[in-house]
Structure 1
Amino acid sequence: VALMTGKYNFRNWLAFGILDPEAKTFGHWFSDAGYKTCMSGKWQLRSYNPPDYMPEWRNRGMRAEDSGFNEYFLWHTEHTEDKSSRYPDPRIQSNGTYVKDTKGKYGPDLYVDYINDFMERNSEEPFFVYYPMALTHGPFNPTPDSDDWLNGNRFESNPDKYFGDMVEYMDKLIGLIDVKLGELGIRENTILIFYGDNGTPREVTSKMRDGRVIIGGKGLNNRRGTHVPLIVNWPGSQAGGRVVSDLVDTTDFIPTLLEAASIPLPQNEIFDGRSFLPQVKGEKGNPRDWVFIHHDPLPGHNKIGRSLSRWIQDKQYQLFDETGHHHFFDYTTDPELLHPIDLRNANDETKAAHAKLKRAMATMQND
């Protein structure tokens, strides 16, 4: 929701798996500016709860056809019980009609085929493509490149066996998009942005080349759950091959994308982000001092026992605002957030950082 609207969730959050049908997304902004727009992948923002759980929240979200995109090719556009598989034999809706003949096919192949076809049809005009991937979300099924795709159980979920295959297949599909842009002769002036939405699933343990073993932290509020990849590739910017340590917030993408497209940021809308386009071009830009996260899993099916979590962090400290308490951590020395800082014993620098984040946190609410 924050990615598509450029607003923090306290401004427009309704429920888990629900996008406010009155919201404006980057699909609207780009379409209104004359861009051809396409969304392909998963939707999952219309109706999340099954019939027997808080049915009053069913059908409350935005329909895919109202999201501002000229075209869409999506999994899970309607009720959860109707979504079927996102991987083998997927159930996909394309521009209001369910796609036929998906038996024996692999969803991610179809999502990327649609994107590449869209780009070919619109290569002479400016376009914007949003690809909310299914990969590498569970269930952890085999891919067409897995050894047992042909003769095994394509619906078997086994993270130890298939997660690596899924990552490799995701990389392969991104490569197909990149190759297509080159074939169309538009790669030089096309920006590709790869961004993770959350940490690796907790069922997955990753063994790194340097010997580290990292347990997935999806849904957690520590680094394993929130520190995700961001890769921006724009050959025409002549500023590639760099690693930038600036903080980036989910709300920053709309200001960045609109600036890159020379689309004025609408003055009658509240946007919480700031553009990082200067950094993409190799300039200093206006880096953030902090980022803010507002995560509310409720009301939502299978979210019992979870609660609202709000925090703000800079490059060293993380301040939580939960149930009236302000837990404060140094996540560079305490990455699992196990030892709250006792400000009574903290040095002046730590106290000043706490005060700064606390002041910022106080602004993170509707006026």
Structure 2
Amino acid sequence: MYADGVNQAARRRPRHEQDWVAAEWGWAWPANRRTLYNRASADPHGRPWSERKKYVWWDPDAGEWTGYDVPDFERTKPPTYRPPEGATGPEAIAGDDPFVMQGDGKGWLYVPRGVLDGPLPTHYEPAESPIRNPMYGQQANPTRKVYDHPVNSVNPSPPDGHSDVFPYVFTVSRLTEHHTAGGMSRTVRPLAELQPEMFVEVSPELAAEAGLSHLGWAHLISGRAVIEAKVLVTDRLTPLRVEGRRIHQLWLPYHFGTEGLVTGDSANDLFGITLDPNVLIQESKVGTCDVRPGRRPTGPALLELVAEYRRRAGLTPGEVPVGTTAAEDERGEDA
């Protein structure tokens, strides 16, 4: 980050002083490379597939790969290179094989080894989803890792009859102004001022449906917890039409907690723990919930609210009338 005595991450040269890749706008870890496998932007002979969109290419006069980005390839390996018999590692990757993170340099569609849910890619719905898998009968990844504990229960999904207790999809991601979970950046006054409180983004359609007001309060309920957030009504979110149903999405930042100059409820409280079977990355950055106007309850009332949703969703066995929905049971309205 301080190569040649320069803070590389602090570089902010204007775009008009650079090419379209803008390699001197900040720093891309670990090698300031902007695109993985960028050898694939050139044909097997090392020539750009498109002159207009050329990215990296082989320069026969210089005897190396060059271009707008740092080559994701051995810089001096020519396109004509063929590995000798018995070669291993990078030496076994030919000059026209761009996928250097694979042992044979090829891009794999069929994966004969190394993944637990292979060998072909397919579509699964998330562990929590309001719709059935439109591709085939297997709803979620059967090899996903789920921790069987009441606190970590998974909200029901189709074909379960109570999946509409949690009818909305929530997703999370980061804000530019905060770092990771926000534990460090919420203590920095300028950053805290730029992003001062927890909020949830909703579409105008969902705001009208759920009775939410712009800049007002809302609380979100899963089978695990309830959190509250200020409401941001925005057309950046659009309802989806899936199999004749309108599916609403909500968006949350994951940077807030109880410590710092600015605080707020944590989106992590809504999650269960469901892991990808190969590298154990958490799948549940998307989940299902209900959303209601106003601030969340506290103390015993909060616990009872979660318990009531769990009963209606069938997460507490034997206490859910068949066919009862969140809207019918809680609000006395049609679902």
TM bucket (normalised to shorter chain) is under 0.3
Return the TM-score normalized by structure 1: 0.25
Who wins on radius of gyration, i.e. which is larger?
Answer: 2
- The structure that is helix-richer by fraction is 1
Return the TM-score normalized by structure 2: 0.27
